């Protein structure tokens, strides 16, 4: 296997011993259209998935985020197949997956983890995340089971997703009482959605050493600029994205100033607007934030990985900050 490309330094995942690249690969698209959540994206062929994984790995991405609800395990199985095809050894890749708590109690975590390990085999689970705060069990009960899974060697670290400040603090304090740090909180964060900067989540993460994993860092493709001025592209979208309010004409007009700024900066760096938007996510807030853009084509995977090979100036970061604040969600 040829040497992997070098890129920006790895970052510590929370206060664990796990180190990850600032850009990971989000694997929701690997659902292949299965299950209600999987149908959100169009189907991606197995050979394309394998190439997306290979290109990501070869260009410095060392971790991959998936979940049981992404195609009822299809994403996990597809990721495993892709890593094996790329010749990645089980001890080399960092795998993050998620348990869906909706309609369940914390007790189901114990049985469910064995299913997750089977789907991802031969790759171990480095990070297990609670997908949202909607379990029948308390946050404290869930975190105690997560600690038991670490004790049993089933996972290396515990994280959460979509937890607000109060929920995040409860999770962190409960895990700390069990002797483990809360590694991460996976939250929506991009130039059009900066609410974690104002609601205390990002500040608390920085204070306590919790990593923020930014999902939807390109606002589900809106920040690529491909849809502004070309509404016919919205109609050609697969899955459910075409129906989102963000892609409707009024919102495309409202966010046009940000797209114009992204394009101007991108031209100066000879990169794409999407790459500038991604770079902002992993650079503007400092090392506390990493991002997990998805990719349904190898070319997308390469562009995502190359974000780790250039940087934005302080002036460019400030320009984006100013324009973003005028159009972002409040």
Phi, psi angles (nearest 5°) of residue 211? -80, 135
The helix/strand/coil state of 296 is coil
User: Active-site positions?
Assistant: 70
Strands 19-20 and 11-12: antiparallel
Task: Determine the Cα–Cα distance for residues 63 and 68; give it in Å rounded to an integer.
Answer: 17
Separation of alpha carbons 302 and 271, rounded Å: 12
> For residue 270, what is the DSSP state?
T
* Angle, alpha carbons 160-149-147 (nearest 5°): 60
Strand bridging mode 182-188 / 211-215? parallel
Q: Which letter does DSSP use for residue 62 in this model?
A: -
- CA nearest to 191, candidates 129, 131, 246, 110: 246
CB atoms within 10 A of CB 200: 15
Residue that the structure tokens 């260009």 belong to: 59
Sign of CA dihedral 140, 144, 149, 155: positive
Q: Is 81 exposed, middle or buried (0-12, 13-18, 19+ CB in 10 A)?
A: middle
Contact 30, 71 (CB under 8 A): yes
Tokens read off for 299: 């070319």
Distance of alpha carbon 60 from alpha carbon 305, whole angstroms:
7
What Å distances lie between residue 180 and 94, 143, 156, 204, 235, CA to CA? 19, 10, 10, 17, 47
């Amino acid at each position: 296997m040829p040497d992997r490309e070098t890129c920006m330094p790895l970052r510590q995942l929370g206060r664990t011993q796990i180190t990850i690249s600032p850009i990971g690969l989000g694997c929701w698209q690997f659902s292949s259209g299965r299950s209600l959540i999987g149908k959100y994206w169009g189907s991606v062929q197995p050979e394309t998935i394998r190439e997306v994984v290979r290109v990501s790995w070869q260009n410095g991405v060392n971790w991959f985020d998936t979940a049981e609800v992404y195609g009822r395990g299809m994403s996990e199985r597809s990721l495993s197949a892709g890593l094996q095809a790329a010749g990645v050894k089980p001890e080399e890749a960092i795998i993050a997956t998620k348990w869906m708590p909706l309609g369940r109690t914390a007790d189901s975590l114990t049985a469910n983890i064995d299913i997750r390990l089977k789907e991802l085999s031969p790759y171990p689970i480095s990070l297990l995340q609670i997908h949202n705060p909607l379990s029948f069990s308390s946050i404290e009960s869930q975190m105690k089971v997560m600690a038991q899974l670490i004790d049993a060697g089933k996972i290396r670290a515990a994280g959460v997703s979509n937890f607000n400040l109060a929920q995040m603090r409860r999770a962190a304090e409960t895990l700390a009482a069990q002797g483990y740090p809360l590694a991460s909180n996976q939250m929506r964060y991009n130039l059009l959605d900066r609410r974690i900067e104002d609601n205390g989540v990002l500040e608390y993460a920085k204070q306590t050493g919790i990593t923020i994993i930014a999902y939807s860092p390109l606002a589900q493709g809106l920040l690529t600029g491909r849809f502004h001025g070309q509404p016919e592209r919205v109609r050609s979208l697969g899955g459910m994205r075409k129906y989102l309010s963000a892609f409707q004409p009024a919102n495309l007009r409202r966010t046009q100033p940000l797209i114009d700024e992204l394009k101007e900066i991108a031209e100066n760096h000879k990169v794409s607007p999407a790459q500038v938007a991604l770079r902002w996510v992993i650079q503007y807030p400092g090392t506390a934030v990493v991002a997990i853009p998805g990719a349904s084509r190898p070319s997308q995977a390469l562009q995502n990985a190359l974000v780790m090979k250039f940087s934005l100036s302080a002036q460019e970061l400030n320009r984006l900050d100013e324009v973003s604040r005028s159009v972002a969600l409040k």
